[in-house]
Amino acid sequence: MSDMFPLKVTGAETTRRGKRLVGPIDLTLDGQGTCVVIGPNGSGKTTFLRLLHGAARLAGGEIRWSCPLEDARHDQAFVFQSPVMLRRSVLDNIAYPLLMRGTARAEAREAASNWAARVGLGGMLSRAATVLSGGEKQKLALARALIAEPKLLFLDEPCAALDGRAMREIESILSQAAASGTRLILSTHDMGQARRLASRVVFLLHGKVHEAAAAEQFFDHPETPQARAFLNGDIVE
């Protein structure tokens, strides 16, 4: 259904002060299911997601969507590891993306209130977003990302600091989103979560794609010794 995909990445890299953070990366992604990005700390997962999203400057190579870049940017959203809360109410936070797209205020608020209910924030619409708990903030960020019905949603370790219950709720929202056709690209250091959600896995090491495969194949038959070691819980350098 998505005309953004396939996404073709060739030789993409990003640098900071002349030092290469990530890349060169060659990768092709199609428009189905959930792609989970894993790798040890410092392997460049966050930068990789930002690079694809367009939030990190491309220093070389190419990231090519199957549609014009502007349309691609319009149809994606990003949920950060520590979500940014606008200094507004829960309702106004969730409605924000719609308002920025010119939706009428009443309509945007109505939609926001529906989304708040779907992520379990229905009882705290007028509360200040900045005083929510970590799990509530993450759920708000999800609702805010999904309200504009993106075709692609990036999530950077969305459950990094959450307890089990919050994690379950968030994964359930993510599964629903994936089921309704939103492509997810999600980074995590939680192998359990990776196995639960992934249809495809990208294993990053030292800023490069070390291995990329369908989820079952990757988890059952990792090709490289590093991937095998990582899945075993060994330290990979």
Q: Which of 57, 62, 86, 234 binds other proteins (CB under 8 A)?
A: 86
Q: Which stretch, 29-37, 58-66, 78-86, 186-194, contacts other proteins (CB under 8 A)?
A: 78-86
Q: How far from 178 is each of 40, 59, 152, 202, 207, CA to CA, in Å?
A: 25, 31, 10, 18, 27
Note whether 74 binds other proteins by CB under 8 A: yes
Q: Which of 16, 55, 104, 221 binds other proteins (CB under 8 A)?
A: 55
Note whether 97 binds other proteins by CB under 8 A: yes
Note whether 88 binds other proteins by CB under 8 A: yes
Distance between CA 80 and CA 155 in Å, rounded? Answer: 6
- Which residues on neighbouring strands pair with residue 29, listed in sequence order? 7
Note whether 69 binds other proteins by CB under 8 A: no
Nearest-Å Rg of the Cα atoms of the chain is 18
Distance between CA 221 and CA 61 in Å, rounded? Answer: 30
Q: Which of 45, 53, 208, 210 binds other proteins (CB under 8 A)?
A: 53
Closest among 232, 155, 165, 135 to 197, alpha carbons compared: 155
- Minimum CB separation of residue 174 from other proteins in Å reads 18
The one-character DSSP state at 122 is G
Residues that bind other proteins (CB under 8 A): 53, 55, 73-74, 77-78, 80, 84, 86-89, 96-97, 100, 127-128, 130
